[in-house]
Structure 1
């Protein structure tokens, strides 16, 4: 916990970490709107296989993606259903939920080296992993929210 948020340096990048399977991932805190409990979703026939459905959230219809499927992880039962959350991500005015196994801590990458994605991943243009941050006794895969949620940056395109 030695690099937790708290520094007042505006150049430092703050990240919200979360666990999907056994791996830690993180999204820029500026791209995180909120974290909510898992709830009822309405399926969308003919949608991408990683789209679990849509959810009504304060007057908006928000698509919710399965983090495991989107990141190509095996679909295993959740270890603890009590910790499952939906991380609401946003980019260019668009909002998408990402189902995760558990929310972790806030990280600050200020002064820490962010390495490029592991070889083989970088060759995929749609790969949402933008870098890797050494953290405690492992690493955190840093996600590019625009690529993760397949957002174009245009107001009309969603997941």
Structure 2
């Protein structure tokens, strides 16, 4: 195995836009990016769960990225740009609806700062760092927290 290649891939993040803010998830945890489509609603589900959809024989929950991150529901962007990012965490596959896909970012570890204090002091806040990027910043997301999955190191 080429460890240099793995390390390089582990440092790349896929960015996407929700409202005016850029967020990013580790590229190694992105299964694929697909167009938005029909979702089957789940009665009694959390407010940020759009529903479920079938993807190659699997039933995948799809989260509304805006609601999950506490942003206003108003899209303000083009529906044509909306995508579902399929996130992989262990055996789990969860879709996240985003307003638009951005660039790949490759932060050097030294550039990543902790999230600003007082932003969202919730236990399930998935933002675990921020990266200065093109006159603004990209909020780096923890996929397990974003999808409310148990961390692999913790007992469920």
TM-score in same-fold range (> 0.5): yes
TM-score by length of 2: 0.89
Alpha-carbon distance in structure 1 between the residues aligned to 2:111 and 2:126: 19
State which of 139, 142, 154 in structure 2 corresponds to 1:141.
139
Quote the residue 1:59 is aligned against.
Answer: 57
- Larger helix proportion of the pair: 2
SS in 2 for 1:52: strand
Mind listing any 5+ residue stretches in structure 2 that lack a counterpart? none
User: Which consecutive unaligned segments of at least 5 residues does structure 1 have?
Assistant: 1-6, 155-159
Partner of 1:157: none
With over 3 angstroms needed to count, the CA separation of the structure-2 counterparts of 1:153 and 1:58, relative to structure 1, is farther
**Cα root mean square deviation, aligned:** 1.8
Counterpart of 1:10 in 2: which secondary structure? helix
Equivalent residues of 1:91, 1:153 under 8 A apart: no
Give the 3 Å change call, closer, same or farther, for CA 9–64 of structure 1 in structure 2. Answer: closer
**Equivalences for residues 54-93 of structure 1 within 5 A:** 54-93=52-91
Q: How many residues align?
A: 148
- Answering whether residue 44 of structure 2 is matched by residue 46 of structure 1, we say yes
- Determine the C-alpha separation between the residues in 2 that align with 1:77 and 1:125: 26
